[in-house]
């Protein structure tokens, strides 16, 4: 398509841009710090890349709504893996790091361990285009409370290889992580990580309690919002959902409040009034349909602020306290069974 032709030209422009900055630094017209920013089309020419992709998509849509939906699905599942900076790796240097082999690739696992072997385990799930380091403050506070915390970079996120992944496969990855490292007493999901956690819960994920932080309540609505926010033809969402149903056997609109209501374990829902990424109404829907839920509404924290807030953590700690005396529960819903290739193993390393 048109993007494939233009992208090499953008690479040349970015190379010229990078060398121009280098010349400015050498001539002492700009600070040396400027050279730490690598000029790439995906970071410096984001708007141009987006417009070219939209041109391709609308051109395809004139030829075939099926082809345009395939392309839109490719863009929807495309992630932006971000390598860790040396300073970030220093922050993570106290935790155990493992490469968890999954489907011919691997998932990077960061483990905040305890000296005692028998401790309650917590699984942290970051959101779309997120990384485990975003949950570092929460993980460290949980570790200080005596929990062993597992915080993976989910497939195609962070340093885990891959250029794209579906929500369905992310939920299967969570199931496979549980088989290798679990069972987990508590599953905590932030943003889309909460929805992925719910999808895994309905496929047999074993746990006692769940915490959903700024999480959506419907995968079908996530797709609808993507099409709406990117100003795509609305009928594309319908075709994208049909493609998902053909691929996995489950329609995205089925993965919503009605299905999530089957989760019987206690669930804590945290959401901020000013969250511009996920509407407050979604938390209210989750609280309404879940049988054992508690909604805590914050103010001034935004979409990510609760992950670092000490007051919010005190509420989380209080919610988790009874879990040690509770039993593990698993729910397997036949509606959420799709084909998956599983290849599990672990390569260990400590930084």
Q: Which residues contact 165 (CB under 8 A, 6 or more apart)?
A: 77, 79, 154, 155, 156, 157
pLDDT at 55: 84
Q: What is the CATH number of the domain that holds 163?
A: 3.40.50.1820
122 and 9 in a common domain: no
Below-50 pLDDT ranges, the chain? 340-351
Domain-embedded: residue 64: no
Segments forming the whole domain that contains residue 8:
2-59
The total of other beta-carbon atoms located within 10 Å of residue 342's CB is 11
**pLDDT digits 0-9 by tens, 146-165:** 999 999 999 999 999 998 99
Q: In what order do the strands lie in the sheet with 345-350?
A: 293-298, 267-272, 209-213, 186-190, 121-125, 148-153, 105-112, 96-102, 345-350
* Residue 114: both structure tokens together: 């305890």
CA 230, chain centre distance (Å): 19
Domain-embedded: residue 79: no
Is 307:213 a contact under the CB 8 Å cutoff? yes
155 and 277 in a common domain: yes
Domain-embedded: residue 271: yes
93 and 53 in a common domain: no
The Cα 306–Cα 270 span in angstroms is: 8
90 and 12 in a common domain: no
pLDDT at 344: 38
> What is the total count of domains within the chain?
2
Domain-embedded: residue 109: yes
Domain final residue, candidates 59, 76, 108: 59
150 and 295 in a common domain: yes
pLDDT at 118: 77
Domain-embedded: residue 78: no
Q: Which residues contact 259 (CB under 8 A, 6 or more apart)?
A: 202, 333, 335, 336
pLDDT at 332: 81
317 and 276 in a common domain: yes
DSSP strand pairing (345-350 vs 96-102): antiparallel
Domain-embedded: residue 69: no
β-strand partners of 121: 148
154 and 22 in a common domain: no
Is 260:291 a contact under the CB 8 Å cutoff? no
Q: Is 127 helix (H, G, I), strand (E, B) or coil?
A: coil
The Cα 233–Cα 2 span in angstroms is: 19
11 and 97 in a common domain: no
95 and 230 in a common domain: yes
35 and 93 in a common domain: no
The Cα 286–Cα 257 span in angstroms is: 7
Domain-embedded: residue 343: yes
Domain final residue, candidates 59, 77, 99: 59
Q: At which residue do the structure tokens 């990117």 appear?
A: 230
340 and 210 in a common domain: yes
Domain-embedded: residue 73: no
Q: Is 246 helix (H, G, I), strand (E, B) or coil?
A: helix
The total of other beta-carbon atoms located within 10 Å of residue 215's CB is 27
94 and 23 in a common domain: no
Is 79:65 a contact under the CB 8 Å cutoff? no
């Amino acid at each position: 398509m048109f993007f494939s032709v233009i992208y090499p030209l953008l690479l040349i422009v970015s190379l010229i841009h990078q060398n121009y900055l280098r010349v400015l630094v050498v001539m002492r017209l700009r600070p040396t710090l400027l050279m730490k920013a690598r000029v790439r089309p995906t970071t410096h020419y984001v708007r141009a890349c987006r417009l070219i992709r939209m041109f391709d998509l609308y051109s395809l849509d004139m030829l075939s709504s099926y082809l345009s939906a395939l392309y839109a699905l490719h863009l929807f599942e495309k992630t932006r893996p971000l390598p860790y900076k040396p300073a970030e790796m220093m922050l993570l240097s106290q935790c155990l790091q493992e490469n968890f082999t999954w489907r011919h690739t691997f998932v990077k696992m960061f483990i905040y361990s305890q000296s005692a072997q028998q401790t309650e385990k917590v699984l942290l799930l970051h959101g779309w285009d997120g990384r485990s380091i975003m949950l570092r403050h929460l993980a460290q506070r949980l570790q200080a409370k005596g929990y062993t915390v597992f915080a993976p970079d989910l497939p195609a996120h962070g340093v885990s290889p891959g250029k794209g992944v579906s929500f369905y496969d992310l939920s299967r990855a969570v199931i496979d992580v549980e088989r290798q490292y679990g069972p987990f007493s508590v599953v905590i999901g932030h943003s889309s990580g909460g929805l992925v956690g719910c999808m895994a819960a309905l496929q047999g994920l074993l746990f006692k309690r769940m915490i959903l932080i700024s999480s959506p309540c419907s995968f079908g609505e996530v797709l609808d919002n993507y099409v709406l926010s990117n100003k795509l033809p609305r009928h594309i969402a319908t075709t994208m959902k049909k493609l998902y149903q053909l691929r996995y056997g489950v329609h995205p609109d089925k993965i919503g409040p009605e299905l999530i209501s089957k989760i019987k374990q206690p669930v804590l829902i945290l959401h901020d009034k000013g969250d511009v990424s996920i509407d407050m109404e979604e938390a209210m829907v989750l609280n309404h349909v879940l049988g054992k839920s508690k909604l805590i509404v914050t103010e001034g924290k935004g979409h990510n602020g609760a992950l670092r807030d000490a007051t919010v953590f005190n509420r989380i700690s209080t919610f988790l306290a009874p879990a040690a005396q509770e039993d593990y529960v698993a729910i397997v819903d036949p509606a959420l069974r799709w084909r998956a290739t599983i290849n599990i193993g672990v390569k260990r390393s400590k930084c």
